[in-house]
Structure 1
């Protein structure tokens, strides 16, 4: 297959670009596989299935039509034009419109040749969401009380993750196309931590935000909020109360009616693009770090009527260290901690919607027709994934480009990741089978955060590999252009050069829960001079930069979500990254 056809000139055309149709399976152990065609998706399974039958059963998902007028280049709605910035100088800082971030050309892996802007043709373009961390903040299995030892262990804006997520969808829907080329955007990919606490309530909210619909981001008592923000505890911001809590002492406002507004019904328009999903540790593991759903005590507590809200700084520090140092990957110590503090827990309304979900339930939610939106069916996952118990797959982005979504969560526990030997072999084979197509790899963890090789309880004898093994494998394939991921909540773009001259870019994007709350548009272009360019353009949500404390509408709460996150005590000021990690042109030699 040629790797020189552009989006504009391919047979399918820019106005009706097919990004995925069917599901079809490949067996790694048996060595059975095939190159992905423009209507294929493939998942790892235990046995081969009939690709033709699968293709006939699954509808084709299409991107929106290309606008009639030339659009490129443009900056509106991106951080090239403006970025939220503080407009006051001390205390609680109000946000307003700030100067945009310029585009930086990075020639680490290839020289930038003059005249390329006039020659280039678009190959593909898409949007990356990552680390939405949609939160059921009233859930009993939350660690808010760690704030007694770490200010940022609980964030004052956490009750607004849903409104912020919807506002991000609205931003993407308003984009006129890819900012550099003007070509239509093909899809949105989420790179994990879509939910925060592996709760069914959070999974439902994620699916509805992405695919569209009305829902109420509330669990427990339908009449009012029950959590730390109306607990009367000075450790947490009490927005509806005049109590002089610790956050108000540093300028946080008194906002009567805030909590009622936060759990009020919302409406998401759903993405007007097809979307795909990648799993993260917070999606797969309770609290993002405990490796088993088998403990009945934790499951019962999740749906029960007791919630712990306080712990001494010493107790909190000990618990936090056990999680950070991976001393309690199965959650046994956490269970014992909760049992020891059972009498200190406060009463809340029980709710079975807070139960943890399994990997099979995660997959089935994606396959549910109620959440199809603009597709594709399964959002990358297929019934083959359900049958095999896998959460990785490959899909066709364009005639000349494939996407590969990995599962880097270690089911043995801990928040850092790794990859199993079977999946690594599948990745190698998929790249070889599609050697005539460029490849973009998606995962949750970064190469440097894949250092946790605990055995997977489902495959205890299988070897697990760290990130350096993935880097080496990707570097051995000349068709790999980029590895796109999240997890670290920070913008970092890293060049990877293999000794034989093969190279690719690792693009890690900041979260949408911590300021500056960003997503990223990525464009792949052929410069027609022996080089390729990857353009990265960051976007914020559609909510206005300026907030109005009297505006508690869905849009107003979306704006408050950003401003509260900027002011969150203990929050990092460097997550936006340096200029070279934000809006960029990344050069590569053409393989």
Structure 2
């Protein structure tokens, strides 16, 4: 289970932070052309592990920039007071010019040409809430260790897809959006079914949220335990005591099929710790944990003291192999609920993850493999390059440590590969994508498959990127928090999740200002779901609206994840090399 960041000191329990933790191809281009020029088509990068390019899209000219449909125009805002608050329209967030790394020169608005225009999704956490090995039982030790709204991740992600499809153009340049990059934690439990949902949601098709028994819900929300919100019941659970509503028919609604139109532009995939590790923490394929995941027993609660002890161990990375969890499950065997086994919950290896992306049924608007190629399948490596535009190369890293633990790192082999790619493309600009940000990369657990491949942290990655003056930005997620930091020669851009409020994605546009500077415009977007909710509207759209409102009211949530104004809608200046 992904742990939600809390507004507590780092030394305190933070279940969702630890599992946060633990918890691009054709662009609107420019490429030296004025904004308004035709957008460029995607071509495969000739460097190591090149991505297959999608078919070139129809030419499209830039339009007048507009903030409509973005947080420049409006942001969800609470109404009234009390324990549970409804949402409505609120004022937008302004765009802040950040000149930390270069001077903002007058007249640049009229000179710019667009180099790239794309969208970043991150930390979608599509969740099988009936999975036997969800860590809901940690809520006994921390109210923030379980999300009352996580059964609605599928309608939530479809509403985000719908937002991008409606947006179509960058709000700063008016240039057509060229692609979407997801920077990891696309699923939550490293389960095949969650990966299938993710691939279908972005490529288009029907998603069935129900697992296990096809006729009955088998999760904690009908367990009878006051620890969890029971929307269909009169039970006075701890969430209803805080104002959470009773919603008759909710459990039937959350298990109905969801339809996704798929993104109408190409999309790429980056690997996160929840995509490769059980609960974002533990290697599972071929282990006791893997067997338990497809089995018929589910642990729903444990004593608070035991929950806190386990969470502290996870936070400190003392059990990357999951032996404590294994012992816990064995010790509480007699207290478990019987559920219907489902082989679709099987945890996946890295090669199986790549193979699923290469399946033609998930191509959508391309490219085939969404960045991953046959070379990745053969090697088992989950890092690659792709062509953003004529002048920009994209680099997707794999910062998940296969040895376990929710924090990230890079092995020496991958770090050397990154150095080589940047040297090879020294005459082009580079965008680097990863799941983990620099401040969450301190995991030195050895890779079981390559125990001599030393692991390297965020400071070493920053130092490497600073040695290459063609790097414009390092774009990541994992922390569920908007945070933008100057790194001397480039910008590090971390974006909030789409499961914890405020549930955001980010549009990024890059321009050459032809005055010795480059601008990176960042604009946050919410899903297309209406702000106002109706507890009687259990349609797919109604559930997507409810997803946002329940997330806002979630007990133990961190109210600072949206960041400051300088972390949201910005213009980030860089010196042009």
| TM-score category of the 2 structures, normalised to the smaller one | over 0.9
Q: Distance in 1 between matches of 2:446 and 2:37?
A: 45
Residue in 2 that maps onto 1:150: 142
Checking the alignment, whether the CA contact within 8 Å between 2:86 and 2:532 is kept in structure 1 is yes
State TM-score, norm by structure 1: 0.91
Query: What TM-score, normalized to structure 2?
Result: 0.93
Paired residues for 1:460-499 under 5 Å: 460-497=451-488
Give the corresponding residue for 1:84.
76
Q: Does 1:72 align with 2:64?
A: yes
Contact 1:65 1:184 in 2 (8 A): no
Q: Report if aligned partners of 1:63, 1:185 keep a CA contact under 8 Å in 2.
A: no
Residue 424 of structure 1 is matched in structure 2 by 415
- The alpha-carbon distance between structure 1 residues 512 and 555, as it changes in their structure 2 partners (threshold 3 A), is same
Tell me, yes or no, if structure 1 residue 168 matches structure 2 residue 143: no
Mapped to 1, the partners of 2:39 and 2:204 lie a distance apart of 22
- Structure 1: 5+ residue runs without aligned partners? 22-35, 45-54, 498-502
On the 8 A contact 2:132/2:297 being kept in 1, the answer is yes
Encode CA deviations 1:79-121: one digit per residue, 9 max, x unaligned. 0000000011222000000000000000000010001001111
For residues 55 and 105 of structure 2, the distance between their equivalents in structure 1, rounded to whole angstroms, comes to 37
Q: In the alignment, what sits opposite 2:544?
A: 558
- The answer as to 2:49 corresponding to 1:43 is yes
Q: Is the alpha carbon distance of 1:138 and 1:565 closer, same or farther for their aligned partners in structure 2, counting shifts above 3 Å? A: same
Residue 329 of structure 1 aligns with which residue?
320
Note the C-alpha offset of 1:6.
5.7
Q: CA deviation at 1:291?
A: 2.9
Q: CA-to-partner distance for each residue in 1:455-514, whole Å, 9 max, x for gaps?
A: 1111001111111111001001010000000000000000011xxxxx000000000000
Instruction: Give the deviation of 1:292 after TM superposition.
Output: 4.6
Question: Quick one: distance in 2 between partners of 1:482 and 1:368?
Answer: 31
Structure 2 unmatched runs, 5+: 1-27
Aligned: 1:17 with 2:40: yes
Instruction: Choose which of 382, 395, 400 in structure 2 pairs with 1:404.
Output: 395
Question: Which string of whole-angstrom CA distances, capped at 9 and with x for unpartnered residues, describes residues 31-61 of structure 1?
Answer: xxxxx4xxx46418xxxxxxxxxx9xx5633
Tell me how far apart the structure 2 counterparts of residues 8 and 406 of structure 1 sit (CA, whole Å): 25
Counterpart residue number, 2:305: 314
1:325-361 Cα deviation digits (max 9, x unpaired): 1111001111011000010000111111111111111
C-alpha distance in structure 2 between counterparts of 1:522 and 1:316, whole Å: 40
Task: Determine the C-alpha separation between the residues in 2 that align with 1:214 and 1:308.
Answer: 30
Distance 1:279 1:6 in 2: 26
Question: C-alpha distance in 2, partners of 1:123/1:16?
Answer: 10
Partner residue, 1:500? none
Whole-angstrom CA distance in 2 between matches of 1:371 and 1:64: 21
Q: Distance in 1 between matches of 2:147 and 2:352?
A: 29
Distance 1:20 1:339 in 2: 52
Q: Distance in 1 between matches of 2:306 and 2:412?
A: 39
1:225 and 2:227 are equivalent in the alignment: no
Q: CA deviation at 1:176?
A: 3.4
CA contact (8 A) 2:69 2:525 kept: yes
Residues 537, 333 of structure 1: CA spacing in aligned structure 2 closer, same or farther, 3 A cutoff? same
Aligned-residue RMSD, C-alpha: 1.6
- In 2 relative to 1, CA 292–261 (structure 1 residues): closer, same or farther, beyond 3 Å? closer
